[in-house]
Amino acid sequence: MKETYIELNSSTYTIKRKKRMLLDKLLKDSLQHYKSLFACDSDAIYAMDLDGYFIPLNPACEILFGYPSMEFSKLTYMKVMTLEHLDRALSLFYKSLEGKLQNFDCQIIQKIGELRDLNITNYPIVINDDIVGVYGIAKDITEIKQKRKKLRENEALYQLLMENSLDLITKSTPNGEFLYVSSYSKEIIGFTPDELIGKSVKELIHLDDLNDYENNKEIVSSGHGNGRITFRLKHCNGHYIWVEALCKPILNDQNVVSEIISVIRDVTEKKRTEALLLQSEKLSVAGQLAAGIAHEIRNPLTAIKGFLQLIEAEQDTQKTYFDIINSEMNRIELILGELLILSKPHALKFEKKNIKQIFDQVKALIDTQAIMNNIEVEITYLSNLQTLLCDENQLKQVFINILKNSIEAMHNGGKITVEVDTTESNQMQIRFIDQGCGITEENLQRIGQPFFTTKEKGTGLGLMISMKIIEKHNGTIHISSENNGTKIEVTLPLTR
């Protein structure tokens, strides 16, 4: 029994030796053909004999496994594989000896102790129907693995951020259909992400805001502008909430927008505060004007009272008296009407209006205060009569705010010039030029910040509100100043 075992053993040994010789010969022959081809490959190409010993076939083996060629050919998987990959690598090696191609990821330890991730492919080497060894190709995937890991970590981080953000984060098709919705949707509009995915955001947008939404979509898709938009979204209870969305397009390989990522914030409260501020500033302007207006109304009333007494006494001159009474009454009516409009809250209403009409009414309101301060307000029209698409009352408020500031800056009286002009780019430009105390460089920076005022009884809201209103009209305000006065340029789009 023992003898046969030794015999068998020695015969296995002989077979293995024979096969190894065959393998060496084959490699020697084929290497002659393929050496230059293998040489520049960055993947390690090697063979393994039936006992699993490496036979390096290109220089990349030294670099990848980190052993000089002579040393490498004395090694097997046992030496190079990390413990946790060894079992699997060995069993796959034996499978390839059964004639099956194998591909697997594993980790090795280089001679200097460094770990590398490899992707290995094993092919059986067959000579005359006999498997004499295995070809191996090892690809270094350490960096790819690290990148994948980083990507997975980033993904987990983004997921965490998105799911815990106090903004609603969505991913949608360019057409607005939700692909992903963060769980904050439940808080903000009452719908769960599952209820929203597959639906279009357009089903939730207020009808009046759809146009703005479509325009913004164009801007986002074309890659122009920052895609910031404010609109109303329908809550599951039926009411609407104001949101501000920042939208970014994601481009595919063909540079076409494939998805849009939006960060949506509830701004209902902010909107309410803005409306309150606007209203309180209006009331304060109205209140300040009221003093002047009371004075103005007293004049016609005195006249009316006087003429009524005269009518009682003299019957003949009745006609002239009545004319004057009528015109004074009209003036009272006009001023009271303006004052009422200014102090009444109202919804934004954009209409085509003529700038001259607006200024006629502004002048009627502001003149009292101007005259009391020995100031003349002159309005000149440098181009033909112009029409604006605007909310008339809001624009009036802007002009009154600007003119009041000028009056308040002109302690010694003087002249305020208002020039209504057209710019080269065909926009309306209104220039307010005063002879007041001017604004210092330092204060100029702060103008428009809420509550910035240099006046004892100032609110510091006038210019901020004015800028907001002009912004809503797609216009701009530019302020420049020197010691001898201030120039404020309001530029607004024209309507044909």
* Positions in the binding site for ligand ADP (CB under 6 A): 401, 405-406, 409, 434, 436-439, 443, 447, 452-455, 458-464, 486
Taking CB atoms, the residue at the shortest distance from Mg ion is: 462
Contacts of 342 (CB under 8 A, 6+ apart): 282, 285, 286, 289, 365, 393, 396, 397, 400
Q: Would you say 173 or 284 has its CB closer to ligand ADP? A: 284
Mark 349-388 with x for binding to Mg ion (rule: CB under 5 A) and - for no binding: ----------------------------------------
CA-nearest of 228, 22, 231, 216 to 133 is 22
**Only segment of 148-156, 341-349, 404-412, 485-493 that touches Mg ion (CB under 5 A):** 404-412
Q: At closest approach, how far in Å is the CB of 446 from ligand ADP?
A: 8
- Residue among 271, 272, 268, 266 nearest 188 (CA): 266
Task: Quote the strand ranges of 345-413, DSSP E.
Answer: 351-354, 375-381, 387-390
Q: How far is the CB of 281 from Mg ion (least distance, A)?
A: 9
User: Is residue 397 at the binding interface for Mg ion, with CB under 5 A as the rule?
Assistant: no
Stretch that binds Mg ion, among 172-180, 242-250, 318-326, 402-410 (CB under 5 A): 402-410
Beta carbon nearer to ligand ADP, 409 or 492: 409
Q: Are 81 and 89 in contact (CB under 8 A)?
A: yes
- Pick 280 or 357: Cβ nearer ligand ADP: 280
| Alpha-helical regions (H) of 414-457 | 441-446
Q: In the bound complex, what is the minimum distance in angstroms from residue 190's beta carbon to ligand ADP?
A: 39
Report the C-alpha gap between 440 and 483 in whole angstroms.
8
Q: How far apart are CA 235 and CA 238, in angstroms?
A: 5
The site partner of 447 among Mg ion, ligand ADP, none (C-beta below 5 to 8 Å per kind) is ligand ADP
By a kind-dependent CB cut-off of 5 to 8 A, residue 122 interacts, out of ligand ADP, Mg ion, none, with: none
Q: Which is nearer to ligand ADP, 280 or 318 (CB)?
A: 280
Residue 285 to residue 262: CA distance in whole angstroms = 39
Binding partner selected for residue 486 from ligand ADP, Mg ion, none, CB under the kind-specific 5 to 8 Å limit: ligand ADP
**Selected range binding Mg ion among 7-15, 17-25, 36-44, 405-413, rule: CB under 5 A:** 405-413
Grouping H, G, I as helix, E, B as strand and the rest as coil, residue 138 is strand
Query: Residue 422 or residue 453: which is nearer to ligand ADP going by CB?
Result: 453
Contact with Mg ion (CB under 5 A) among 182, 405, 435, 466? 405
How far apart are CB 353 and Mg ion at their closest, in Å? 23
Backbone angles phi and psi of 43, in degrees to 5: -80, 145
Which residue, chain included where needed, has tokens 């001898």?
484
Choose between 57 and 395: whose C-beta lies nearer to Mg ion: 395
Give all strands (DSSP E) within 49-166, no chain letters.
Answer: 54-56, 102-109, 115-127, 130-140
What tokens does 419 get? 């020039």
**Smallest separation, CB 294 to ligand ADP (Å):** 21
Q: Are 277 and 450 in contact (CB under 8 A)?
A: yes
Shortest separation between residue 491's beta carbon and Mg ion, angstroms = 20
CA-to-CA distance for 366 and 387, rounded, in angstroms? 22
Q: How far is the CB of 409 from ligand ADP (least distance, A)?
A: 3
**Separation CA 234–CA 205 (nearest Å):** 6
Closest approach, Cβ 465 to Mg ion, in A, equals: 9
Positive or negative torsion for Cα 368, 370, 376, 382 = negative
| Beta carbon nearer to ligand ADP, 99 or 287 | 287
Cβ nearer to Mg ion, comparing 227 with 462: 462
Among 462, 465, 467, 492, binds Mg ion (CB under 5 A): 462
Cα–Cα distance, 479 to 449 (Å, whole number)? 14
Least gap, CB of 472 to ligand ADP (angstroms): 17
Q: Which does 190 bind (CB under 5 to 8 A by kind): ligand ADP, Mg ion, none?
A: none
CB-nearer residue toward Mg ion: 64 or 447: 447
CB of 395 to ligand ADP, least distance (A): 16
Looking at the Cβ atoms of 436 and 475, the one nearer to ligand ADP is 436
Six token digits for residue 39: 């040489």
Q: What is d(CA 190, CA 370) in angstroms, rounded to the nearest whole number?
A: 54
**How many CA atoms are closer than 13 Å to the CA of 443, on its beta-carbon side?**
16
Short-list 228, 260, 221, 227, CA closest to 244: 228
Nearer to ligand ADP, 100 or 411 (CB): 411
CA 405, distance to chain mean position in Å, is 36
- Interface positions with Mg ion (CB under 5 A): 405, 462
